[in-house]
Copies of this chain bind each other. A is one copy, B any other.
Amino acid sequence: MELSFSPEERAFRDDVRAFFTEKLPAEIVDKVRQGRELTKADMEHWHAILNARGWLANTWPKEYGGAAWTPVQRHIYEEESCMANAPQVVPFGIYMLGPVIMAFGNDRQKAEILPRILSGADWWCQGYSEPGAGSDLASLKTRAVRDGAHYVINGQKTWTTLGQHANKIFCLVRTSTDGKPQQGISFILVDMDTPGVEVRPIRLIEGGHEVNEVFFTDVRVPAENLVGEENQGWTIAKFLLSHERTSIAGVGYSVKALDQLKTLAKRQRRSGKRLIDNPLFAARLSEIEIDLEAMKITNLRMLSNAQKNGAPGLESSILKIKGTVIRQALNDLSRRALGPAAAPFPSEDLDGNAAPVPAEDRCHAATYFNNRKISIYGGSNEIQKNILSKAMLGL
């Protein structure tokens, strides 16, 4: 048993840490720390900084301009990224489309698409979910009908994250209704400025705009925009779902959230004492801390497996389930720690003097509500349990 990282991995951690210290813009750190929304420019700026260092496409092979990190390096990066209040990389081009193109795309697609992801020329978004088909992708209804050298797409996608910033979208569409519902699905790329594509914002529970509906009305897309074979979409979708799940536990976020919560609990006062000295609060905080310490090791154990076996196993579903539960429990405690001061709607109008809490703690209620999503998206925790029950336990 050896729980620590190798000397090389520790040196890598030092590099990452130094990079964040030098290159991460202070105004972006402030926004992340305070839980405020980043602008499109913020995200593009950060991508450019990462790309200049060669770290944007950290999981891509070097031949495509990637960093070819091991799962452990990726993990170390994610941890440090959270601790430094760095923004997450927008995943749709880097972690989702990129690997799909490398695995299923043709040479032309590789040559055209991958460099534009790195350069920031394209902002991709994802067209998977549909109204009425949340976790059940096989039932999707958006049709793509072949018409000469084009496909004509009609239908609606939803939950398209950051679609308001995107110029491109990759979609799962139905190209056939023969056979099982999974068999008639294809993976296709669409320019967002094609006539007939319309993006409508969805406002979320806490008031923010991060997801959208995307409507397709007689949208004509060149047939060469198909990735892989026609009706091969289900294979691609499964490839994507099983890909890149080692950081799915969100341990880095939780570690950061716990840190912030401890500071908050030492500042807040209840009945003349620090909140951390309230036994009920301290007990809850400590229980979550213990769960999180265990989760860190669970994550490393599965990472170690992934490093050895090439790919994460089913256990990644365990990370997803327990990781989201822990994170939501921390969000819950941070909200509670504020007492009545959690209630004001986060808004630029609330100037420093009038707000009952400092800026870095003003979004805890909003974050709590917004993060109810993490146990729903990417395959809800219920779906993960169905999968584990069958595939891991054999029930």
Contacts and interface: CB of A to CB of B under 8 A. Distances in A.
Contacts of A280: 279-280, 283
Nearest to A278: B279
A10 to B, nearest CB: 39
Contacts of A283: 279-280, 283
A279 B280 CA distance: 7
A279 B283 CA distance: 10
Interface string A270-308: 000000000110010000000000000000000000000
Copies in the complex: 2
6 contacts: A279-B279, A279-B280, A279-B283, A280-B280, A280-B283, A283-B283
Contacts of A279: 279-280, 283
A279 B284 CA distance: 12
Nearest to A279: B279
A280 B281 CA distance: 10
A283 B283 CA distance: 11
Interface of A is mostly: helix
Interface string A83-102: 00000000000000000000
A279 B282 CA distance: 11
Interface string A228-257: 000000000000000000000000000000
Q: Which 5 A-B pairs have the closest CB atoms?
A: A279-B279, A280-B283, A279-B280, A280-B280, A279-B283
A388 B280 CA distance: 35
A279 B279 CA distance: 6
A201 B280 CA distance: 46
A283 to B, nearest CB: 6
A280 B285 CA distance: 13
A279 B281 CA distance: 11
A371 to B, nearest CB: 26
A392 to B, nearest CB: 22
A270 to B, nearest CB: 13
A95 to B, nearest CB: 38
A280 B284 CA distance: 10
A84 to B, nearest CB: 36
A277 to B, nearest CB: 11
A287 to B, nearest CB: 10
A259 B21 CA distance: 60
A280 B280 CA distance: 7
A274 to B, nearest CB: 15
A206 B288 CA distance: 33
Nearest to A280: B283
A215 B280 CA distance: 54
A279 B278 CA distance: 9
A231 to B, nearest CB: 36
A383 to B, nearest CB: 19
A339 to B, nearest CB: 18
A24 B163 CA distance: 76
A151 to B, nearest CB: 41
A299 B280 CA distance: 30
A285 to B, nearest CB: 13
A280 B287 CA distance: 12
A282 to B, nearest CB: 9
A206 to B, nearest CB: 29
A283 B280 CA distance: 8
